[in-house]
A and B are shown apart, each in its own frame.
Chain A
């Protein structure tokens, strides 16, 4: 074996051919990579980094620590259960005066209010009087508002003063972090997020199931009809796919509302009385119907492309061997469509779970999904930290499914239209 080492093949200029080849391959790899690089940088700057930055707010919140530096320092070595000291009160008064001057007291008050409800008015009203207070500050503050003597307020501040906190994640999963760092379940009436997540999964699962039930027959029909006919029928699948989601949602409002087309038909045929029209929309049912319609093409297209590749001779062979129609379909044809079912189902589920527009417009109260809550916290309650924590939960679910999709189907096999 040692001969091969001594007699390495040389290139024309005397360097080993192996090294030359490796260098050439490296150059080609680099060339290919350089073509992709601009796009990768673009996505990194305008997509990946922004999302990562935003989601980091789920565990990073330095508002209280920056605005109330003295209090934060005084709270750092407080154990959370003993009586607050005069030094703590003094630091608080200094910070209250400062935040009132910089007009950030509102933000600070809102932040503490998330940990201890009722703290907002306590902070804003006391900040107004803080400049006139004299030492000892403990008695003076408690004299302006009794609540300052309540240790729960201090525990709330202690929780708010943590720059890195798992409090928002705890909240996103219906738990609460106490001042001593332990995590407990929220009171019954405030447990909304887990229920919401379960409802989101439930709606997505139902939509996926309905899409499969409706998509499988027509994909089969499209795959088995002669090309000319199936191309024409394909338009009926592709036209909805290409039509704006807003248009389709509007159309379903026109179809389903109590004075809408379907209810008019029901009244006309005597299915229901004029005064007892069905409420088909602005509830979970409306969300289910509209989302199934919108996502159906995502199921039909992958199913169709898989079914198109199944040779009809297999079913014929099964029948010639004595299988009934049902057996031939169930034992021979259906197993071959499983990759299509997998691709379609995962795709529909991924799109459904992050759906926002349709539930927002036709979902009413019980048709809202987790995306609607994230949007609510982004634009209405302005609790971006909680939005980030909820977003992380949603993203983890979606990325897990994406990973499964890649395993099962392969991203390269994704097709459009």
Chain B
């Protein structure tokens, strides 16, 4: 269907170009809001809109003050000349929430990736009993509304002093990451040749050696992209954090949430820009992994 045949009539031509324009507008709808935050975050004024100065590209209408504010907000002494970075590292609100986000994200990813990969290996075996019911259970954290997950976790965890703790948040986020690990790793295992496992075992390898030396290297791209999905899920998650985190455990999305509700300032836009750049980096990593995985499975020409 791509490309227009030479015999196309006027109506067909008209529709062909109209269709492309419609699609262009939809793509514009998808991408504009994400790109618009980048120039807006360099606004010198504390507004969420383009000033006349910005539109005529005057250099004094732009500034990096909101990026500086990310670091300074909450600092003990932002004007000090010595120990500025140490102060920002230990006192800045945004830096602290960045540290929380990575701490909770990485630990919960480790749990969900380890347990999820193991389960995916079991699920991909043909002799797995109750496969469909188990799969439905393992995917359910993605389906159950987050408000219910958060309320359940908060209610149950608070009986064991796990609410308002890092451990509680990590466990709850690990649960949320599991479906993504299961989906990506089982998808990778579909292309995995089970006779390789039998070959390794027939040559005397123990199941553990087989797993780490034969199976793991081949499914590694799938495991890593599953882990990235799990990490971004935790990194993005805010409903559970709103319900379960104390003030000092606030993550970036939580900080943004109260920022939008309470004192909306372009600092939010600066943080948003940083996050957009992080997601571009993640997307690129995933794309590279996908290509590598396809090459390994011989699905596309090298």
A interface list, Cβ under 8 A from B:
25, 28-29, 31-36, 38-40, 42-43, 46-55, 57, 214, 217-218, 221, 224-226, 233, 235-240, 242-255, 257, 259-261, 264, 293, 296, 312, 315, 325, 350, 353-357, 361, 371, 374-375, 378-379, 384, 387-388, 391, 394-395, 398-399, 402, 406, 411-412, 414-417
Q: Which residue of A lies closest to B172 (CB)?
A: A46
Q: Is B223 an interface position by the 8 A CB rule? A: no
Contact A39:B178 (CB < 8 A) given known A32-B128, A226-B2: yes
Q: A250-B256, A254-B269 are in contact. List 9 more A-B contacts (CB 8 A).
A: A42-B111, A47-B153, A221-B19, A226-B2, A244-B272, A254-B33, A255-B32, A259-B47, A402-B136
Question: Is the CB–CB distance between A218 and B184 below 8 Å?
Answer: no
A256 (CB) vs chain B CBs: closest residue: B33
Q: Which 6 A-B pairs have the closest CB atoms?
A: A354-B145, A35-B122, A50-B156, A51-B152, A251-B33, A39-B119
How many Å from the CB of A239 to the closest CB on chain B? 6
Contact B151 A36 (CB under 8 A): no
Question: Shortest Cβ distance from A170 into chain B, in angstroms?
Answer: 20
Are A242 and B283 touching (Cβ within 8 A)?
yes
Query: Whole-angstrom distance between the alpha carbons of A10 and B280 in the complex?
Result: 63
Q: Are B151 and A391 in contact (CB under 8 A)?
A: yes
B34 touches A248 (CB 8 A): yes
**B40 touching A254 by the CB < 8 A rule?**
yes
Contact A46 B153 (CB under 8 A): yes
Decide if B261 is an interface residue (CB 8 Å cutoff): yes
| Contact flags B220-247 to A (C-beta < 8 A → 1, else 0) | 0000010001001001101100110000
Q: A32-B122, A239-B31, A378-B243 are in contact. Are A254 and B48 (CB under 8 A)?
A: yes
Docked pose: A416 CA to B290 CA in angstroms: 12
Query: Main secondary structure on chain A at its contact with chain B?
Result: helix
Cβ-based interface call for B17 (8 A)? no
Q: A48 to B135, alpha carbons, bound, how many Å?
A: 14
Instruction: List the A residue with the shortest CB-CB distance to B261.
Output: A361
B148 touches A354 (CB 8 A): yes
CA distance A354 to B176 in the complex (A): 15
Given contacts A47-B149, A264-B50, contact A411 B139 (CB under 8 A): yes
Whether B10 sits at the interface, judged by CB under 8 Å, is: no
Which of A32, A53, A226, A252 sits near B152, CB closer than 8 Å? Answer: A53
A327 nearest CB across to chain B (Å): 14
Enumerate 27 A-B pairs (CB-CB under 8 Å) in ascending A order: A25-B127, A32-B122, A36-B119, A39-B119, A40-B138, A43-B138, A46-B172, A46-B174, A50-B156, A53-B155, A54-B152, A214-B29, A226-B2, A239-B31, A239-B280, A240-B30, A240-B34, A242-B283, A244-B235, A250-B260, A255-B33, A293-B30, A350-B143, A357-B257, A375-B239, A391-B148, A395-B144
User: In the complex, how many angstroms separate the beta carbon of B90 from the nearest chain A beta carbon?
Assistant: 25
Q: Which B residues fall within an 8 A CB radius of A?
A: 1-2, 12, 15, 19-20, 22-23, 26-27, 29-34, 36-37, 40, 47-50, 111, 115-116, 118-119, 121-123, 125, 127-129, 132, 134-141, 143-157, 171-172, 174-175, 178, 180, 183-184, 186-187, 225, 229, 232, 235-236, 238-239, 242-243, 253, 256-257, 260-261, 264, 268-269, 272, 275-276, 279-280, 282-283, 286, 290
Check B144–A398 contact: CB distance below 8 A.
Answer: yes
CB distance from B145 to the nearest CB of A (A): 3
Distance, CA A28 to CA B153, complexed state (A)? 35
A42 to B137, CA, bound (A): 12
**Complex formed: what's the CA distance from A357 to B238 in Å?**
8
Contacts of A406 in B (CB 8 A): 132, 136
Contact in complex: A57, B1 (CB < 8 Å): no
Cβ-neighbour of A239 out of B34, B139, B272 (below 8 A)? B34
Partner of A40, one of B40, B134, B232, B268: B134
Q: How far is the CB of B194 from chain A (nearest CB, A)?
A: 12
Q: Which of B22, B146, B290 has the most CB of A within 10 A?
A: B146
Tell me, rounded to whole Å, the shortest Cβ–Cβ distance linking A203 to chain B: 14
Output the least CB separation between B276 and chain A (Å).
6
**Residues from chain A with Cβ under 8 Å of B150 in the complex:** 378
Distance between A74 CB and nearest chain B CB, rounded to angstroms: 31
CB distance A247 to B127 under 8 Å? no
B228 to chain A, nearest CB (A): 9
* Cβ-closest chain B residue relative to A371: B147
With A40-B137, A243-B276, A244-B279: A354-B243 Cβ-Cβ less than 8 Å: no
Residue of A nearest to B257 (CB): A246
* A42, B175: Cα distance in complex, Å: 8
- Name the residue among A39, A221, A255 with the largest chain B CB count within 10 angstroms: A39
Q: Are B256 and A246 in contact (CB under 8 A)?
A: yes
Give the complex CA separation of A222 and B125 in angstroms: 34
| Given A221-B23, A254-B49, A354-B147: A247 in contact with B118 (beta carbons within 8 A) | no
Chain B residue numbers with a CB within 8 Å of A255 are 32-33, 36
A53 to B153 CA separation, bound complex (whole angstroms): 10
**A397 to chain B: closest residue by CB:** B145
Expressed in whole angstroms, the minimum distance between the Cβ of A249 and any Cβ of chain B is 7
With the chains together, A353 CA to B148 CA distance in Å? 12
A280 to chain B, nearest CB (A): 13
Residue from the list A48, A225, A242, A296 in contact with B279, Cβ < 8 A: A242
Interface pair B151/A378, CB less than 8 Å apart: yes
Pick from A51, A225, A384, A402: contact of B148, CB under 8 Å = A51
For residue A50, which residues in chain B have a CB less than 8 angstroms away from its CB? 152-153, 155-157
User: Known contacts being A371-B145, A412-B135, is A251 close to B34, with CB within 8 Å?
Assistant: yes
Residues of A within 8 A of B145 (CB): 353-356, 371, 391, 394-395, 398
